[in-house]
Chains A and B, each alone.
Chain A
């Protein structure tokens, strides 16, 4: 199966031709602080969840900025910051073939099995 892992320079920017045309980022962006993806655990026992992204010069600043913008109303007890360039993503153009193997295996779902009514709540 031919699929490629795309490396994005920013979380989700189409950097390969999957968009209508390539984005025009002609402007000099050398001095821009790197971009970070922010994940927040809203309370103990739950997963960290992606909440958005921000620019920061380093990881410590990313976490402090994330606290200031994403947890002003007690939305979180823990923050992960991942520099966006390290996020790898599957290609939506390949979605059909990529996820196809899971479509015809209905026996993986509990509803596939017809049981007599006497067997309650299994």
Chain B
């Protein structure tokens, strides 16, 4: 069958909301876009463990430590679900990991910002996970079956992440003056980077159009960002804190909050590798990968030895 016909059938399936499964024919660009997006998403989960992992030993109570451990463990699991989904498209796990470590593959820039205070654990949960969830809820309906199934699983676990973050900030917001100040300072630092998580403006995003047509994405960057601002602008009232944006204002006509302009120079700078922690994060991943090499080799050798012993007994 000519490629044009295959592409027509493919698009018809997408239009009828029929999910694409790994062995179905798909345009090469669809495969590549999904591999790129899913593996980036997986890398983000894995690198995302680092800023929080740093606070496990410094958590203020046993309860907070247990919560943080559970959350970081979830993120490792989310990375696994996503790597598996990307592998169904024909890229090996080793290849993805090596692309991450060489800097060829990207991950969410948000994790290139440092987590300086305990309040950051709250702000990361509330704002960063909050932003991620909006994207992930949309992706539960993405057109590629394995990706959609991974997202459903992730969303089920993710809502605890956002709630625990908000609750941690709530406790601080009702605490001493020093705790309140720590809470506000943390929100100040995380607000703008969180808005940047949704990516470039629609007018400048190169991937959006085709991704929408293929239903890999179902909402544009700007739509999701607006949804996020509307949600957070209300929730911050409960905390009695303020968002660091003088232009944030309810627009009765649009029925949405207006907000100020993002510092796009900063955005591109961090994407290109010049954020505060880009090097530190990659170095940490490389070290973990190198230090774990003997464990991976030993496990394989042990498995091979067990099989050999079994075969010898049978013979």
Query: B-contacting residues of A (Cβ < 8 Å)?
Result: 6, 10-14, 18-25, 27-29, 31-33, 35, 51-55, 57-58, 61, 68-69, 72-73, 89, 91-93
Contact = CB atoms under 8 A, between A and B. Distances in A.
Q: Is the interface of A mostly helix, strand, loop or mixed?
A: loop
A31 B302 contact: no
Interface in B281-315: 296-297, 299-300, 302-303, 306
Contacts of A10: 87-88
A69 B80 contact: yes
B13 to A, nearest CB: 11
Interface residues of B, number: 41
Contacts of B146: 12
A25 B31 CA distance: 14
Contacts of B90: 13-14, 19, 22-25
B25 interface: yes
B299 A57 contact: yes
A11 to B, nearest CB: 7
Contacts of A28: 94
B31 A20 contact: yes
B124 interface: no
8 contacts: A12-B22, A20-B31, A25-B91, A29-B92, A33-B299, A57-B299, A73-B157, A92-B24
Nearest to A37: B84
Interface string B5-33: 01000000000000001111111100100
